[in-house]
Structure 1
Amino acid sequence: MKDKKIRIVLFILIIIAGIYYFSNSKGSLSLRNSSFAIDSPEDITKIVISVKDKDLILEKESDHWKVNNKYMATQKNIENLLLALSRIDVLSPVSKIEKEQVASILRADGVAIEVFKNNRSLKNYFVSKPEMNNEKTYMMMLKSSEPFIVQIPSFKGLVARFFIVDENYWRNKTVFDYLPQNIKEIEVNYPEYPSKSFRAMNYNDGTFAIQKLSDNSYLGDFNVDKLARYFTYFQRIVFDDVVRDLNQSTIDSVLHSNPFCIITVEDIKGSINKISVYRKPSQNKFDEFGQKANFDYDRAYASFNDNKDLIIIQYYIFDPLFKEIDYFR
């Protein structure tokens, strides 16, 4: 009788141990499959965002980030993404009824995210596209079939909207951003009007010089205050957007045409930035005064540092830079 009781107790203990083991294993597996957040976002050195036909690579280089190894990234957008990666939280598992369908959609049409520390992969998972559900974001680990609904605490928008594959969203739109004392030389060239073109030098000892581009002679008498002030205009100068509504043939035609103005800035370290500006045809035949509009008076086309991308600039931002040599007399 006593042996029978002992066997019963042992049997019960084995069952309890089995339940604990399997439930704990399942819990650990579930935890691994839902651990989307990065504990130390400062360790992240590369983020790859991929859809079927396109990869976007954000990579850290010393104190800045680059987009597809071509452009400087907008720091604020990077900071927002890193913060999101560190705060992703599981709201709930996907219901059993929807689980298989959601997992299938994520594998076939989700956004693949891989996060690296140096060359080591930290996380690799799928994120739903915003159009999949405008109220929920689904995520699933790459090697899992268990999707989850996720959130970012205190953030009311879709988590999915942080994972954008368009490089123009991440691209820094800065053209010029210099403190005046960091500029060595500014060249403003009007190819069709050489007599209006000039080169301005800042010797950083309180003295300046202006050189005519037409014959390389120096202007003997000029307004020093105007020239000193001109060097302060090259801060927070940005372009508006990348041209998206023209075919490549038209873009190439613009880039091979004669620019209206070319502005080149060299800093005290010898680094050079250059923008070539092209007149943009007006969509309206007449301006607000009823006069014939020869070109768009609000926007122009441009290329930056001889890049093949055609960008759009706004005159109200760039107008202070479009000075002619006579302005300084």
Structure 2
Amino acid sequence: MKKNLIILLIIVVIAGLSYMAFNLNSEKTSTLAEEGLTNFAIVDTGHIDKIVLTNTFGQKMVVVRTAGTTDWTNEAGDCVQEELINNILETIYRIKVKANVPKGMSETVLNNLNQSHTKCEIYVNNILEKTYFVGTPTPDHYGTYMLLEMPDKGRSPEPMIVYVPGFRGTLQPRFNADWRQWACSGIFKYKPENVKKITLKNFEHPDRDFVIESDGSKEFKISHHGEYAQIFDTTRVRDYILKFQKIHFNQYNYTMNEEQIDSIRNSNPYVQISVEGHDGKNVSVICYKIKAGKGDVDLEGNLLKWNQDVMWAFLDNGDLVKVQYFVFDKIIKPKQYFTREPLR
């Protein structure tokens, strides 16, 4: 009982701090503009070099442009999805005010923004240019409630209904502060000539393990537990190496807590696939099957033991992701596939 009270108190304190941190009226550094601000757009997006997204759930995402290029990364220099960058830059460039919020609704919209919004800080040449407070969609979902703040004018005293001409829908999803949505989904991205070694370890069927070695051109070797095959299909090996140019995961873990993640990690793995590059870049992924849902059956009506669509995978950095069999079946091959021996 005492433990539950302590946990409840912690939650209340965190919630209170979050409210204070994001309450639009509590930031002492902000002054109110003399009138409603409507100049949301930034025409020269080529000089935008940093965007900071923070939401009322405590999530934060910072994307930065690499100096002198059009390439964007997160603060740590990791890849971010180009499509999301293009979407947010297009929005900043084309955003327009559709209408003022009706007087009778303004207070309600402001209160809603206080409770839930994403703060988008836009930097031009490393100087804060504009800040958007992105709210919810309008009832018809053709507009988005948004408040503008500018360093030289202050914060708009009233929110606006904004949109992007030609786009039907809300702009809210384009300002996502969840880093998992921004992270690139690529696992293996190897040019064929850069592949030095591919190791597959099948924990369920060790007789299917193999190691492929490549000099980067036309010479290949394939071995099983240290024993090299004298005869194998070089065309299949070459085609297999080509598959590692583009292998992506499906999505980040959004459902499992730390205890459940540890449980997966301590369960029996399915396969581990590791690639070494001639450039010294090594990538490894270890996959775990997911139990089928209760009552799931195959095409013949037989109960399934395992999910037939996705499985869990741990990346090198420890992140847990879901991968699709549709993608991974291309690279989960047995040694016998190359040596043309029958499977046991």
If the TM-score is normalised by the length of the shorter chain, which range does it land in? 0.7 to 0.9
Q: Deviations over 1:91-134 (max 9, x none)?
A: 23333333344334334433211112354212112121237773
Instruction: Establish whether residue 303 from structure 1 lines up as the match of residue 307 from structure 2.
Output: no
Gaps of 5+ in 2: 1-32, 150-154, 340-344
* 1:43 match: 47
Asked whether the 8 Å contact 1:299–1:313 carries over to 2, the reply is: yes
Q: Deviations over 1:18-58 (max 9, x none)?
A: xxxxxxxxxx9658x22211222222222222222323313
Q: Deviations over 1:152-186 (max 9, x none)?
A: 12222222332123333322222223332232221
Shift of 1:260: 0.9
Per the normalisation by structure 1, the TM-score is 0.80
Structure 1 residue identity aligned to 2:245: Q
* 1:87 match: 94
Per the normalisation by structure 2, the TM-score is 0.77
Shift of 1:79: 0.7
Q: Deviations over 1:193-225 (max 9, x none)?
A: 44321211221231111132x2x2322222211
Structure with the bigger percentage of helix: 1
Looking at structure 2, the residues matched to 101 and 296 of structure 1 have their Cα atoms a distance apart, in angstroms, of 46
Q: Deviations over 1:135-155 (max 9, x none)?
A: 431222232213222121222
Asked whether the 8 Å contact 2:96–2:162 carries over to 1, the reply is: yes
Asked whether the 8 Å contact 2:193–2:217 carries over to 1, the reply is: no
**C-alpha root-mean-square deviation of aligned residues, in Å?**
2.6
* Corresponding residue pairs, total: 298
Alignment of 1:82-231 (within 5 A): 82-117=89-124, 119-130=126-137, 134-142=141-149, 143-212=155-224, 214=225, 216-231=226-241
Structure 2 residue identity aligned to 1:219: A
Q: Deviations over 1:229-281 (max 9, x none)?
A: 11112233222222333343222111222321111122231112211111111
User: Matched residues, percent identical?
Assistant: 28
Looking at structure 1, the residues matched to 160 and 208 of structure 2 have their Cα atoms a distance apart, in angstroms, of 64
Instruction: Establish whether residue 241 from structure 1 lines up as the match of residue 251 from structure 2.
Output: yes
Instruction: Establish whether residue 289 from structure 1 lines up as the match of residue 305 from structure 2.
Output: no
Asked whether the 8 Å contact 2:142–2:163 carries over to 1, the reply is: no
Larger Rg: 1
Gaps of 5+ in 1: 1-27
Asked whether the 8 Å contact 2:285–2:316 carries over to 1, the reply is: yes
After TM superposition, where is structure 1 displaced by more than 6 Å over at least 4 residues in a row? none
